[in-house]
Structure 1
Amino acid sequence: MSSTKSERSNKVVAGVCVAFVAGMVGMAYAAVPLYAMFCKVTGYGGTTQRVDQYSDRVLDQKVTIRFNANTSGGLPWDFKPVARDITIKIGETAQAHYTATNHFDKPTYGRATFNVTPDLAGAYFNKVECFCFTDTTLKPGETLDMPVVFYVDPDIVNVPELKDVKTITLSYTFFPIEGAKPVANAPQAGDLKTNEKTDGNLGG
């Protein structure tokens, strides 16, 4: 009898351990998308917001948006913003352009991530159109124009830590991805405010 109880107890303990390990593995797989969702909703870590409509309110207060570009993982692209910065009114919809050129003798594939600094501003930096998280293919020597359409939510002035912010930096980093992917079609935006000043030396 004692031996039977001991075996049952061992089986219960083993079952609990297996369930615990399985639960931890499941949580590990779920952690990344859940964290991404959390960042998207809250703007945590400088994650910008994706919206489907333009701002309906423009303030008589200006902010300068700086643009940063990087590549990682040995991706052989010359990736940069066409303009280093643009000054707009808060709530004003604007358009900026990045370009990427493949310097390799074969097609290469990349995908961009992004963030905004200061981090808290991410919740108020709204992108209407962008190329982020799109699998992008560049042929040898090909250059792709990639516009970003955005505005800064006027509610940013109601946040004590951000009401006096004068500069927001939008940074993109392209990472290499494996295999043949569909060529990304750069979104075509309307006649929006752009800045013609170029800076060909901007890197990271």
Structure 2
Amino acid sequence: MSEQLSNARLVKRLLFTVAAMFAFGFALVPLYDVLCDVLGINGKTNTSAYQPSVEQIDESRTLRVQFLSTNADGMTWSFGPDADELTLHPGETREMLFHARNPTDHAMVAQAIPSVAPSKAAAYFHKTECFCFTQQVLQPGESVEMPVRFIVDPALPADVKHLTLAYTLFDVTDRMPEKLAGSAPQAN
């Protein structure tokens, strides 16, 4: 009887361990996102709306913001910013236009994923409007201007004088067929 009781306890402990490992596996992604958001690591930009407490521009500092754009494998669109860089004062609201063109003979859906470098600056880079918030649908040969409006928080560490905002454009057409169905050109 003692051996059966011992085996039953062992099975319960093993089942608990398996359940705990399964739960931990599901919790890793949200924990990682929270950690990146709190520490400003991995170049992830803040996805919540930025509300400056006071319209405060630090005119004593000038920052250089560089813009990069790349296409992921399989993405054929032409994609890029109006300018390679701009200068600004922390706290200033600025905008950059990006252009995209679908050179193919079929409609496509794209998603832009942003990142900020250096990673410690990501927590201070706030997008108030961005084409990366939604998927972009372009018909064959169609072009679009896509704005990104942003503010660099004046609390940015003083040793950061140069930021890079990089976008990678992904083809998500196969994963978003409902976007194509709702965007078909209307016949007259």
SS at match of 1:132: helix
In the alignment, what sits opposite 2:114? 114
SS at match of 2:42: helix
Contact in 2 for aligned 1:69/1:172 (Cα 8 Å): yes
Asked if 1:53 is matched to 2:60, the reply is no
User: What does 1:92-103 correspond to in 2, within 5 Å?
Assistant: 92-103=92-103
**AA matched with 1:77:** W
SS at match of 2:176: coil
Say if 1:18 and 1:106 are closer, same or farther in 2 by CA, change over 3 A: farther
Say if 1:176 and 1:8 are closer, same or farther in 2 by CA, change over 3 A: farther
| Aligned counterparts of 2:22 and 2:73: Cα–Cα separation in 1 | 27
In the alignment, what sits opposite 2:179? 182
Unaligned runs of 5+ in 1: 184-204
SS at match of 2:155: helix
Say if 1:17 and 1:69 are closer, same or farther in 2 by CA, change over 3 A: same
Contact in 2 for aligned 1:48/1:126 (Cα 8 Å): yes
Q: Residue 91 of structure 1: CA displacement? A: 1.1
Percent identity between the two aligned chains: 36
In the alignment, what sits opposite 2:27? 30
1:100-131 CA distance string (max 9 Å, x none): 22222222222222111111111111111112
| RMSD (CA atoms) | 2.1
In the alignment, what sits opposite 1:126? 126
Runs of 4+ in 1 over 3 A off after TM superposition: 52-55
1:59-117 CA distance string (max 9 Å, x none): 12211110011121312222211211111111111001112222222222222221111
In the alignment, what sits opposite 2:184? none
**AA matched with 1:32:** V
Q: Residue 151 of structure 1: CA displacement? A: 1.2
User: What TM-score comes out, normalization by structure 1 length?
Assistant: 0.76
Asked if 1:78 is matched to 2:78, the reply is yes
Say if 1:102 and 1:29 are closer, same or farther in 2 by CA, change over 3 A: farther
Asked if 1:39 is matched to 2:27, the reply is no
Contact in 1 for aligned 2:50/2:126 (Cα 8 Å): no
Q: Residue 133 of structure 1: CA displacement? A: 4.5
Q: Residue 138 of structure 1: CA displacement? A: 2.1
Say if 1:166 and 1:23 are closer, same or farther in 2 by CA, change over 3 A: same
In the alignment, what sits opposite 1:199? none
SS at match of 2:10: helix
| Aligned counterparts of 1:41 and 1:182: Cα–Cα separation in 2 | 33
In the alignment, what sits opposite 1:155? 155
In the alignment, what sits opposite 1:170? 165
| Aligned counterparts of 1:81 and 1:181: Cα–Cα separation in 2 | 28
1:27-70 CA distance string (max 9 Å, x none): 22221122223323332222222434356111122111100111
Q: Residue 136 of structure 1: CA displacement? A: 2.5
Say if 1:43 and 1:6 are closer, same or farther in 2 by CA, change over 3 A: same
